[in-house]
A and B are shown apart, each in its own frame.
Chain A
Amino acid sequence: MRRRDFVVKTTLGAAAAAIPFGGNLFAQAEKSEGTPDLIALYGAEADEMFERGIKEMGGMGRFVKKGDSVVIKPNIGWDRGPEYGANTDPKLIKRLVKHCFDAGAKEVLCFDHTCGNDWENRYKMSGIKDAVESEGGKMVAGNTENMFEDQKIPKGKSLKEAKVHKLAINPDVFINVPVLKHHGGAKITCALKNYMGCIYDRQWWHRNNMPQCIADYATFQKTSLTIVDAYRVMLADGPRGNSPEQSPVAKYQIISTDIVAADVAATQIFANVARQHKIGTPFEVSDIDYIALADELGVGTADLSKLNMKRISMA
């Protein structure tokens, strides 16, 4: 597992290193050549942005090989319809599943440990069950203890071991599809925090320094791709949401191979949307404890300038 991780990481690192940056790491990142690490999109429907973004990313074939079993981990925590922005946009998930199959995936499985034991109800209400199953993917339950296995987290500081969902353990392809929203406890929930749906005993995290646990777990979880759904951004009263008015349509999306960078970009987008709509708090990246902790543990980089980034406006 670790060796495999290592191989993947070094290969990616080598690939990234091999990309010519055009000598300038700053504002001109769009102009750089080669496949990007992070793509920020703006101005269209969630599925359209994904269509465009994944094309720029080098197509789904870059991540999904023929015969792979793909695991998608959206946020399906809440029994809310899509208009609340409490769960990942079902349209995006639908298009994603389609792309996975087009790239030759053997099966596409989708799960989340929902925030309540009525998991089936939440799968249905979020619209994600329909989205996945209409494209031929499968929804897998994530609430029963027997779906979880004990795993050691060697690099963890607070979290040394955890019960991890079977699908999240060493998958062929793991795609993290969080939704960007406000969070009462962690201030912002996005890609790193979305991993909380992969483990069984979340309450333990709440008791034992949650930001550190979030960062610790990220050292363990293999992720091929992170897609941040910021089509609707819940700016206040998260993570469950109070009314759809607090989740304005912002039309952003981030597709990234680096999960920490995705969270950094997402936090900046959150602050920007909060300013535009004058709702909630425009958090700084430094306010979000787990980002720095994950960066420290080497999960990814919090420095966007180190990445080959591409910005695409479709408005």
Chain B
Amino acid sequence: MTRDDKFAAPADRAAAVADALIDAGRLTEEDLDGVQALEESLDWRNGTKVVARAWTDPEYRQRLFSDGTAACAELGFEGPQGEYIVALEDTPELKNVIVCTQCSCTAWPVLGLPPDWYKSPEYRARVVREPRRVLGEMGLDLPAEVKVRVWDTTAETRFIVIPRRPAGTEDWSESRLAEIVTRESMIGVALVELPKA
């Protein structure tokens, strides 16, 4: 293995590529800043609104499971890495979990850019082989009778898990419900829980 110390640090390499493209007239600073608008629109909190709507509006829920792309677009969530979205329904008998074993694909418009743990070799290698153990380590112990389906994002479909609505939220508003939905629950490695009193 080559010694690391003669290699440039990532910050210097990123600056070198950007400056070289700008000096060559291929890109401008404004072009790169223009990507910022896209970047800021990629927010996992968008997905919480999809989940809360699915919990409170039965007709929306139906549309979401028959055409996830259109149902997300209804709420304004569409764009790159969201060209074909499939929503996965958790039930008392079934837990859905999402992974991308070969890279780190996610439904950007509703899940945002993925967290490091999702991109880690540990998660990508293990969750397809031993999902119950991985979920248990992450704090979710599933009863043996609950079936687990792990969805590997290997082509162009992007997934979002619609977790179960917690008991005790029957009179909650949609916006209050959205606030308790977590990124982890929409990837499928956690349940949605009531905030601890």
- Do the two shown chains form a genuine complex with each other? no
Question: A residues touching B (Cβ–Cβ < 8 Å)?
Answer: none
Residues of chain B whose beta carbon lies under 8 Å from any beta carbon of chain A? none
